[in-house]
Structure 1
Amino acid sequence: MNAFVVQPEQAEHVALTGGSGFRLLADGTETRGALGANRLTLAAGADGAGPHHHARSTEAFYVVEGAARFRLAGPDGVRTETVRAGGLVVVPPGTVHAFAAAPQQGADLLVVLTPGIDRFGYFRALGRVRRGEEPFDALLPEQARYDVHFATRPYGLGPGRR
């Protein structure tokens, strides 16, 4: 693999709702499976992701600005952590987690997954779901392909959040 650079204007933007969105930086196909990276900006209190896990990938969240709330399942139950700018959360494979911007604060997150998977298609589809262009159920058949497995237990961050 050759080194590559993604300038800010080159990163594809996937709009969510309310001013939230993804900047797609590197996908597993570009890094030969080494990692995937995106920058996720969440409006104040906005949902980032409902409860899910990754069977094969470790996911790291670096909080660039603002604060984010994480719900993390573990052997001792589910805990909630609010992480401020400069903080890091590392989620190993198989750990059910959910996250959102902290109430009354936005969050700017650098998200890195390793090993990398061709996941940009998932983020594009998630954008369509969040904008109401497709139903959530459209993502269900793609869980194994994108290594995003939705939890059925109530690990979410609030009412109505998957």
Structure 2
Amino acid sequence: MTRDSGEGTGALVVRSEGAEYVPLPQQGGGFRLLADSGATGGALGANRLTLGEGADGAGPHYHARSSELFYVLDGTVRFSLDGEMETVGPGALVVVPPRMPHAFGATPGSTAELLVVLTPGVDRFGYFRALGRIQHDLESLDSLRSEQDRYDVHFLDPSAWQSERTI
């Protein structure tokens, strides 16, 4: 159930069973879409991300307008933060400021569960749905390249991250 005044100024209540789920193909991974910007008056967007064992969460990218907060609920996550590697476990909080290049994924041999919050919010549910289609080979990554400004996700060269992930 969602309670909202329609203006994004009321309380928002999203129960897990009421949140849209976008499955990812790696061992039970997926996005639980909790709050899009429109439902929070632009304050934030939030999702719960489950990563399968050793799965990438996102390749290198940055957000021009928003900060991104990651709270690790379970598992171990490897982050690239402006080229510096950081590994964190349950209870860790990582906040990435606007324009900082970052990437993340579950560490090899580990799954991960994260709460991810983007603030100020950007309507990104369409982005997560597209990622699900891309991960299932129903769409190409090129389909999102033209949407980088809309979703405030600006892709960067993945080669350093990919070589880090194979170590």
TM-score normalized with structure 2 length: 0.90
Amino acid at match of 1:4: L
5+ long unaligned stretches in structure 2: 1-8
More RCO (CA 8 Å, sep 6+): 1
Equivalent residues of 1:71, 1:155 under 8 A apart: no
Structure with the larger strand share: 1
CA RMSD of aligned residues (A): 1.5
Give the deviation of 1:97 after TM superposition: 0.4
**Identity of counterpart residues, as a percentage?**
59
1:20 aligns with: 29
Asked whether the 8 Å contact 1:66–1:84 carries over to 2, the reply is yes
101, 105, 118: which one pairs with 1:96?
101
Measured after TM superposition, the shift of residue 153 of structure 1 is 6.2
Asked if 1:124 corresponds to 2:124, the answer is: no
- Residue 9 (structure 1) aligned with residue 17 (structure 2): yes
Cα deviation for residue 79 of structure 1 reads 1.0
Q: Write the distance in 2 (CA, Å) between the matches of 1:25 and 1:150.
A: 24
Cα deviations across residues 56-112 of structure 1 (Å, max 9, x unaligned)?
010000000011000111xxxx11111100001100000000000011000000000
How has the CA–CA distance of structure 1 residues 139 and 159 changed in structure 2, closer, same or farther, with 3 Å as cutoff?
A: farther
SS of the residue 2:59 aligns to: strand
Flag structure 1 segments of 5+ consecutive residues without an equivalent. Answer: none
Residue 68 of structure 2 corresponds to which residue in structure 1? 59
Tell me if structure 2 keeps the 8 A contact 1:63–1:108: yes
Query: Residue 4 of structure 1: CA displacement?
Result: 1.6
- Give the drift of 1:144: 0.2
Evaluate the alpha carbon distance shift between residue 160 and residue 141 of structure 1 in structure 2; reply closer, same or farther with a 3 A threshold.
Answer: farther
Matched letter for residue 20 of structure 1: G
The residue type equivalent to 1:42 in the other structure is L
Is contact 1:97–1:155 with CA below 8 Å preserved after alignment?
A: no
Q: How many residues align?
A: 157
Large movers: runs of 4+ above 6 Å: none
